Amino acid sequence: MGYYTGRVHEVHVNAGGRLAATITCPAGAIPQPGQYILASIHNDPEAILGSPLFLSERIPEGFHTASPFPPTWGPGTSLDLVGPLGHGFDLPSHIQRLGLIALGESVSRLLPLVRENARTSGSITMFTDLPLPRLPAALESYPLASLAEMLDWPDFIAIDIPLARISDLWNVFGLPEGKGLPCPAQALVTTPIPCAGMAGCGVCAVPGRRGWKLACEDGPVFDLHTIKW
């Protein structure tokens, strides 16, 4: 974990109509896909809790954030950055068919996986009902309703899902009760992370198969077989 200073270079609206931003910062402050960095206004005595920022795309001078982004932080805002924090996606090195499932408010937290794996010879497919930005030509996209009949296609699945929707996964996959997925999967579980693992407050608790897990420390990316869904 490191401590850095960054700056809001630009604020923009993404394809889903939600705020995102460009952050200029040292390379060490850029989170890996699925990780987050805790940001707060520089030297603000009232900034007790920071805001977690996720990666959408790396750029030479910093990174583009995924949504959401604090609406009161405008261009030029100086930020204190702590992290990167948490466990990100850890995909096998050789994936031939990567399936992405976006169930949150934006596809932006999964986009780094698209850009990283688009450089390989494998195929990538996104399943979502969310608005899509301009994407690499290597990526195909289908509505969520197509997932059940195409579930045998991926050899690995990466999911972005709010904590409140975990119990919906059986229906999303179209699986009969008691049947598991035909391939490994990891899930980025999105939920408020107010203390970023510094206080063990439990607000971000995720039901695991062997007790509760904290998204701020144990996640926010989990192997899907370790959480209760």
Q: Is the pLDDT reported for residue 131 higher than 80?
A: yes
Residues 198 and 102 in one domain: yes
Residues 130 and 217 in one domain: yes
Phi, psi torsion values for 26, nearest 5 degrees: -65, 155
Q: Is the pLDDT reported for residue 43 higher than 90?
A: no
CA distance 129 to 106: 10
Higher pLDDT, 92 or 63: 63
Residues 105 and 70 in one domain: no
Residues 118 and 177 in one domain: yes
Higher pLDDT, 214 or 135: 214
The CA–CA distances, whole Å, from 71 to 68, 129, 226 equal: 9, 25, 34
| pLDDT of res. 121 | 59
Higher pLDDT, 121 or 208: 208
Residues 144 and 222 in one domain: yes
Q: Supply 55's token pair.
A: 């990666």
| pLDDT of res. 52 | 94
| CATH classification of the domain holding 52 | 2.40.30.10
| pLDDT of res. 45 | 65
Q: Is the pLDDT reported for residue 120 higher than 90?
A: no
| pLDDT of res. 122 | 76
Q: Give the residue from 85, 118, 148 where a domain finishes.
A: 85
* C-beta separation of 178 from 164 below 8 A: no
Domain count, the chain: 2
* C-beta separation of 10 from 73 below 8 A: no
pLDDT band at 179 (very low <50, low <70, confident <90, very high): confident
Position 92 in a domain: no
What is the mean pLDDT of the segment spanning 74-103? 93
Q: Which of 62-66, 122-126, 202-206 has the highest mean pLDDT?
A: 62-66
Q: Supply 113's token pair.
A: 């996986």
| pLDDT of res. 92 | 87
Position 208 in a domain: yes
Q: How far is residue 14 CA from its own chain's centroid?
A: 15
Residues 144 and 57 in one domain: no
Residues 125 and 60 in one domain: no
Residues 102 and 81 in one domain: no
| pLDDT of res. 46 | 65
3-class DSSP state of 44: coil
Residues 174 and 64 in one domain: no
| CATH classification of the domain holding 218 | 3.40.50
Q: Which of 43-57, 192-206, 210-224 has the highest mean pLDDT?
A: 210-224
Q: Percent of the chain beyond pLDDT 70? A: 96
Mean predicted lDDT score pLDDT of the chain: 90
Residues 102 and 176 in one domain: yes
Phi, psi torsion values for 178, nearest 5 degrees: 95, -10
- Which residue range is the domain that position 17 belongs to? 2-85
What is the mean pLDDT of the segment spanning 131-149? 87
| pLDDT of res. 229 | 85
Residues 68 and 108 in one domain: no
Residues 107 and 62 in one domain: no
What is the mean pLDDT of the segment spanning 202-224? 91
Position 74 in a domain: yes
